[in-house]
Structure 1
Amino acid sequence: MTKTFQRRTLITMAAACLVAATPAWAQSSSPLRVILPVGPGSGVDTIIRAAQNALSKALGGQSVVIENLPGAGGITGTSALVKAAPDGNTVAFISNNHAVNPSVFKTMPYDSLNDITPISVVGGSPFVLVVNPAKVPAKNVKEMQALLKAKPGSFNMGSSGNGTIIHLAGEMFVDALGVQVQHVPYKGMGPMLTDIIGGQVEFGAAAVPAAQGHLASGRLKAIGVMGKQRVASLPDVPTIAEQGFPDVDISGWFAVVGPKGLPAAQVERLHKGVVAAFNDPEVKAAMAKQDNVINPTTPDVAVKFLKSEQDRYARLVTKANIKLD
């Protein structure tokens, strides 16, 4: 046996050992399945689709397939996630309703905290309190409070559905003002905004991207931003906290999570991919256009955040006496 042959044999054996030692997930040619527990065209859907190509690139060319599985306030989609294999090829892009659902549904088919693996809370979307200017002539929160107090129960507050984060945001607002209104739930934010414009309901909370066009046209008026900071596209609209109601502090957020038992190496790989994707210049520009604030957290911070949000919403649901069958 020549030395050359021996050397080639050793190289071949070393390569075989390296392949054997490489985790199976690193060799997978499967696409990354991103489950959205919401319908197409929603704010969360728009956000992840803007980052789809950048995420594929950040994951070394792994294709990214987005699958909308709406229903039951997000439970349908998240149920599919928790049943998926923890192999790094399935994640979900969730939002506030994930943390709200345990408090508004009597039973849940999964544990919202323990049956998932948080990867990152990617960022947030501001909410704004909007009114029909013809029905609500108030220019600010104090004037609106006086108007609502003068006619208890006479005004209608729309929401994107009973028990949704938009419903909770509205309840937080009316509780802070100490007023009584009638709640009118809709099947989505679009129908709610249509009826506020049409005058069937007078006001409601809304995600800024969904309301931007209507605010620009004057069909809706913004009374105040519902988070702690003003919004870049609405620089003259003060926060509700600035107007004397500091207890109003709520906004949308979106996060990437995997199924329970996701290996640490996969969590790290996916986290790095998410951070890189949302730092892509084109993605950052798209997020800024929608007034989304991008600041991806670490997995550890995401775990603590989801727990704190679930606890916070539980208190709000109890206070507002929101119940779903």
Structure 2
Amino acid sequence: MTELKINRRTALRIATAASAFAGGLPLFARAQAAWPTKAIRFVVPFAPGGSSEIVARAAANELQKILGQSVYVDNKPGGAGNVAMGEVARADDQHTIILGHIGTLAVNPYIFDKLPYDPKAFTPVSLLAKVPSLYVVRPDLPVKNLKEFIALAKSKPGQLNYGSAGNGSAGHLAFEYLKMASDTFVTHVPYRGTGPQLTDLMGGRLEAAAVGAPAVMQFIKTGKLRCIATGTTQRLAQLHDVPTVAEQGFPGFEMTQWYGLLAPSSMAKASIDKLAAASARAIKEPAALKLLEGEAAIAVGGTPAEFAKFIEGEQQRWKPVIARAKIKPD
């Protein structure tokens, strides 16, 4: 009888424990699924008005619908993107993310002797978009295409100026790449962001620039800027009459900017996975596609593993270009 009572008590304890454990699983799952529990801060490490902000807002608008929380874009320029990267690398609130970029991920590691952050402090989430680099000039410059611009630059070595969003920016890289390919000398004038350099370009204080398509398409369409070449491998539908750099005597030339989503490595893996799935979906939503395609930006999406592999490939591609151009930070 005693043995029977013990067995019954033991069985009751086991059943109670099993019930509690089983009941706890949905609670744990719900806790994981609950992320995000507050607004998400989406940091853009550059000044407003450039391609980065357009891509970020296209993604943010759809992410907040999918995730059920507000996603707000916070522009934080400075130090070629290093200021924002350093801040976000240290963020541990589980609700701060940042827009990764060709400059901060494939350029800065090779032009700065010491970065204010460890690149390993970030987890790649998803490659959001690729943005064609457009080579533009102010409309009163007496050139109609890239060949004529190169001829003018060769006739006045160092006398023409081109602007960029800053040393080590995508525009800086793009124009130095063109200078090497065409063996020309055009003076670089760095600015603190795309917006300020476009103001000076349209104001006649610069002759040229290489800028992501979203930031300049409206000015090209209204005649405030003239596009003399695209950095894509094929002509853009939005600018079907503008030849690529490759078509104008430089076979194999390609230059596109790219933007992807990064999270601090402190963010929980379950949250990373949820954010990655949401990001890949968000950038392909009709509203996002309409916004991006209207500006010639190409939506990508993808997994964390794919983005990590892409970053590694871009670093290997641009490291020798940076060394040859002797690109240095401000």
TM-score tier by shorter-chain length is: 0.7 to 0.9
SS at match of 2:237: coil
The TM-score normalised by the length of structure 1 is 0.87
Distance 1:77 1:111 in 2: 13
1:6 maps to what in 2? none
Aligned ranges 1:1-325 → 2 under 5 Å: 13=20, 16-19=23-26, 21-22=28-29, 24-28=31-35, 29-59=37-67, 61-85=68-92, 88-99=94-105, 100-112=107-119, 114-135=120-141, 137-324=142-329
Amino acid corresponding to residue 43 of structure 1 in structure 2? S
Could you tell me how far 1:205 is from its partner in structure 2?
0.8
CA shift, 1:213, in A, is: 2.6
Q: Distance in 1 between matches of 2:268 and 2:63?
A: 20
Contact (CA 8 Å) 1:25, 1:88: kept in 2 or not? Answer: no
TM-score in terms of structure 2 length: 0.86
Does the CA contact (< 8 Å) of 1:106 and 1:324 recur in 2?
no
Asked if the contact 2:214/2:292 (under 8 Å) is kept, the reply is no
Report how far residue 216 of structure 1 moved.
2.0
Structure 2 Cα separation of the partners of residues 10 and 111 of structure 1: 45
Greater CA drift, 15-24 or 148-157: 15-24
**What amino acid is the match of 2:220?**
L
Percent of aligned positions that are identical = 36
CA distance in structure 1 between the partners assigned to 2:85 and 2:191 by the alignment: 22
Cα pair 1:103 1:313 within 8 Å, conserved: no
Structure 1 position 266, deviation (Å): 2.6
User: How far apart are the structure 2 equivalents of 1:320 and 1:134?
Assistant: 29
Q: Which runs of 5+ in 1 are unaligned?
A: 1-8
Is there any run of 5+ residues in structure 2 with no aligned partner, and where?
A: 1-15
Counterpart amino acid of 1:140?
N
Size of the alignment, in residue pairs?
A: 315
Contact residue 130 and residue 220 of structure 1 kept, 8 A: yes
Other structure's SS at 1:142 match: helix
Compared CA separation, residues 208 and 146, structure 1 to 2 (3 A): same
Gap change, CA 1:25 and 1:34, over 3 Å in 2: farther
* 1:271 alignment partner AA: A
Task: Note the C-alpha offset of 1:314.
Answer: 2.2
CA distance in 1, matches of 2:299, 2:308: 18
Q: Tell me the amino acid that sits aligned with residue 252 of structure 1.
A: Q
Which residue number corresponds to residue 4 of structure 1?
A: none
Q: CA deviation at 1:224?
A: 0.4
Q: 3-state DSSP class of the match of 1:79? A: helix
Deviation at 1:196, TM superposition (A): 2.5
User: How far 1:91 sits from its partner (Å)?
Assistant: 1.8
Matched position secondary structure for 2:72: strand
Alpha carbons of structure 1 residues 20 and 199: separation in structure 2 relative to 1, 3 Å: closer
The C-alpha deviation readout for 1:132-186, integer Å capped at 9, x for no partner, is 2423x23222222222222222222222222211111111111111111222222
Over alpha carbons, which structure has the higher Rg?
Answer: 2
Is the 1:120–1:296 Cα contact (8 Å) retained in structure 2? yes
RMSD: 2.6
Which structure carries more helix by proportion?
A: 2
CA contact (8 A) 1:176 1:247 kept: no
Task: Say which SS state the counterpart of residue 126 (structure 1) adopts.
Answer: strand
Helix, strand or coil at the partner of 1:242: helix
Tell me the distance in 1 between the aligned counterparts of 2:196 and 2:266.
Answer: 39
